[in-house]
Amino acid sequence: MPETTTWTEKYRPVYFMDIKGQESAVEKIRDSLQKSEKGKKAIILHGPPGTGKTALAYVVANETKSEIFELNASDLRNKRKLQEILRPATEQKPLTKKRKIILIDEVDGISTDRGGITELLKLTESSSHLMIMTANDIWDKKFSELRKMTELISLKEIDYKAIKDLMIQILRKEKKFIENDVLTNITLKAHGDMRAAINDLQMATSLPDPSQILIDERNKELDIFSILRMIFKGKPTNAHLKIFNSINKPLDEIMLWIEENLPAEYSGEELVKAYELLGKVDIFKRRIYRQQYWRFLVYENAFLSYGIASSKTSGKTGFTNYKRPTRILKMWLNNRRTEKKKSIAKKYAQYAHIGVKRALKEFPTIERVFLKPGVQKELKLTQDEIEYLNKNN
Ligand SMILES: Nc1ncnc2c1ncn2[C@@H]1O[C@H](COP(=O)(O)OP(=O)(O)OP(=O)(O)O)[C@@H](O)[C@H]1O
Ligand SMILES: [Mg+2]
């Protein structure tokens, strides 16, 4: 029988001990719960994608026998929304259980105005229930007040061994087998993201040859590495203007790769020059997007490729071991993923006459339905959105 749930759902942590590789965060949050009477009113769980922030919030609710009231970014858009939705939630008694936890998932995604943030602070202060917020990045200036009044608990990229152990456990429960080196590679590829590892594992076990899961990714990385080599090592030529068309990555992402690897290639004044150029590309790009002068994207390509190559005069010629951009890239990819998910949910919400929030909540359970071409057509999904679904299922 085909699998109908995702393994990340099926193996969603229930107890503290199910949260792997986050010992210090778990310990901190347990401590904080014990003294929560006099402690801070809110906890922020922050860290890279797929490391267990949302999962941990739900575990806390379970372990403390609390019901959870979850808000998402669109509930937090402005002061009015906050007063409508968050205020009553912070004041009202729990409905079904003794305690209530208010979860503000992905608080860093909110695009609230000044009034919104102030209101959030006020409600955090006055709330009669524990508030847990999650975020990838909490260091934005607009959160400085919020940081002061909450307990910050950081979750880290999960270490290799913890990821591999959990994957082996899952394989055992599923009575499935995967060769050790494929497993090792999936684990490495996850770069500390447990969700990515579990998703890849589920995908791999459904393939006739599980090692296929690695091929696609490996090619992609080869691509980007050879492009970096061309940009950094080659003499600037017209061919540079075309290389970005040959790679299946958005330009924004390539920029992150270049930025990450500039210091490995350049030093001193050259490095400054290269960074300056990259900055110009960024400004240029924003202008293009704002004014929608799409055909100027060509020049952006030129800046990036030809420009960077020519900002180098002497420089390193030997082999450079390029790094993948880690944190920022992940945040960026994750944002893109969330965007796609949101845009699909929006279309579905319109179609089914339900709120976007509910559509997002139901997303994991109905996602598979969106794989049907008929449904895709009905919802008018774009190629990008379909690709997102295929990748995730
Ligand atoms: N530390 C962990 N231990 C066990 N399972 C984990 C852990 N982290 C993530 N997972 C698995 O990955 C899934 C997704 O994790 P979760 O939603 O908590 O990530 P997150 O940190 O909130 O990511 P994001 O920043 O994208 O919201 C969970 O349902 C669980 O199956
Ligand atoms: Mg989350």
Query: Which uninterrupted H or E stretch holds 220?
Result: helix 212-233
pLDDT of residue 61: 96
pLDDT of residue 293: 47
CATH of domain 22-154: 3.40.50.300
Say if residue 198 is exposed, middle or buried (CB neighbours under 10 Å; 0-12, 13-18, 19+).
buried
Whether ligand 1 lies within 6 angstroms of the CB of 41 is answered as: no
- Give the residues of the chain that fall short of pLDDT 70: 1-4, 36-40, 73-74, 109-114, 215-227, 230-252, 281-335, 393
Whether ligand 1 lies within 6 angstroms of the CB of 54 is answered as: yes
pTM of the model: 0.62
Domain edges within the chain: 22-154, 160-210, 219-323, 328-392
pLDDT of residue 359: 82
How far is ligand 2, taken at its centre, from the CA of residue 105, in Å?
6
CA nearest ligand 1 atom 26, residue: 49
pLDDT of residue 301: 57
Beta-carbon contacts of 387 under 8 Å, excluding residues fewer than 6 positions away, are none
Per-residue tokens: 277: 């150029």
Strands 66-71 and 99-104: parallel
Atom of ligand 1 nearest to the CA of 105: 27
Q: What is the assigned CATH class of domain 219-323?
A: mainly alpha
pLDDT of residue 6: 80
Separation in Å, CA 84 to CA 107, 273, 296, 321: 17, 51, 44, 53
How far is ligand 1, taken at its centre, from the CA of residue 381, in Å?
27
Whether ligand 1 lies within 6 angstroms of the CB of 51 is answered as: yes
User: Rounded to an integer, what distance in angstroms lies between the CA atom of residue 312 and that of residue 321?
Assistant: 18
User: Rounded to an integer, what distance in angstroms lies between the CA atom of residue 227 and that of residue 33?
Assistant: 50
CA nearest ligand 1 atom 6, residue: 52
Whether ligand 1 lies within 6 angstroms of the CB of 136 is answered as: yes
Say if residue 382 is exposed, middle or buried (CB neighbours under 10 Å; 0-12, 13-18, 19+).
middle
Matching residue, tokens 């739900």: 58
pLDDT digit string, tens, across residues 74-107 = 677 778 888 898 999 999 999 888 999 999 988 8
